[in-house]
A = this chain, B = another copy of it.
Amino acid sequence: MPSKANTYHVHLETDRKRPELFHLPLDQWLAAAKRHRALAKKLRVTVGSNGENLDAALGTADFLITNCPPPKERLRERAPRLKWIQTTAAGVDALLPFDWLPADIALTNNRGAHGPKAFDTVAMALLMLHQRMPETFANQRAQAWQPLYTTPISGKTAVIVGFGDLGQGAGRAAKKLGLTVIAVTRSGKATRIADRVLPTKRIDSVLPKADFVIVTTPLTAETRGLINRERINLLKPGAGFINIGRSPIVDYVALRERLESGTLCGAVLDVFDQEPLPPDSPYWTTKNLVVLPHISCDDPRYVEHLLDFWFGNFERYLTGKKLKNIVDRQLGY
């Protein structure tokens, strides 16, 4: 069915294997459409899941909102009118490289949605690690009273790897708790939140100073394996480690060795190579490791916020403004 004049077709595609939080059901769309009535009148919507009616929808779709990798094979041929793809995720590492994406199809991600939760999770993780909660929880399980006294966290140093939406949320949290924040970024350009910013190539100079390392960077060709064994071993005794970015950025084998040897105060990891983590994974029982089930940065109002963001961007589209959150095809995020 061709679009009516002045009407665009938007298709919402859900991979039902993803947590329900990230599903794009019709009722959420209709609720968002009520909040954006004038814009919604210009749209015809279809909703699908697990690719079942995807090709029929792509035949006329102008826009795609998807919680899973978009169809990469012969995309232009299958989706002749497609102009814009919106992902529900901020990280688009699963879509790299972008050789499948025609130059005239915009790709926007969901960066900016995760900062407030990153703030909360990193504040919690810093305080838990500093106050030796991983050991204290183990003592509780062993029904053993073993006070571990710690100074206030104020004055400690956090090295934050990546300083986008997540990194800045982490940085705001660390500053509120009185820490010194050193950000490590691609550009090394100064930002308001951090006390110091260094380019990635100088990371080795600051890792030994870190009381806490917080990995928040997107996974790209440049960041894959960035925190390798050598760098894990630069961490000082008693340091804490937090990863809310992606697991392939960090050598988890080396990290686990340091945890098991007791030379770190602990780690809080929210991301793993295999998710859900299987029941027999060694991470569940690694000493002083807190496993978070990939919840660090996601608000249950996720899709509600995403659709509000999308409607705002759709208005920019209609008025010829540049879309927000366009993914840089070279940088990969």
Contacts and interface: CB of A to CB of B under 8 A. Distances in A.
A190 interface: no
A140 B290 contact: yes
A320 interface: no
B120 A177 contact: yes
A293 B120 contact: no
User: In the complex this chain forms, how many copies of it are found?
Assistant: 2
Q: How large is the interface on A (under 10, 10 to 19, 20 to 34, 35 or more residues)?
A: 35 or more
A276 B146 CA distance: 8
Given A120-B177, A131-B121, A140-B290, A150 B279 contact: no
A301 interface: yes
B121 A151 contact: no
B123 A294 contact: no
A266 to B, nearest CB: 13
Nearest to A121: B131
Given A176-B176, A295-B148, A298-B149, A120 B124 contact: no
A2 interface: no
A166 B315 CA distance: 50
Interface in A251-295: 275-277, 279-281, 284-285, 290-295
B121 A124 contact: no
A36 interface: no
A152 B119 contact: yes
A112 B133 CA distance: 24
A233 interface: no
Contact of A21 (B19, B119, B136, B149): B149
Nearest to A140: B291
B124 A293 contact: no
Given A147-B19, A281-B143, A295 B131 contact: yes
A128 interface: yes
Contact of A137 (B19, B137, B149, B154): B137
B152 A117 contact: yes
A127 B117 CA distance: 11
B117 A295 contact: no
A153 interface: yes
A302 to B, nearest CB: 8
Interface of A: 19, 21, 116-117, 119-121, 123-124, 127-128, 130-131, 133, 136-137, 139-141, 143-154, 176-177, 275-277, 279-281, 284-285, 290-295, 298-302
23 contacts: A21-B147, A117-B152, A120-B131, A120-B153, A120-B177, A123-B127, A123-B177, A124-B124, A131-B295, A136-B295, A137-B137, A139-B293, A140-B284, A141-B284, A143-B280, A143-B281, A144-B279, A147-B295, A149-B295, A150-B295, A150-B300, A151-B300, A176-B176
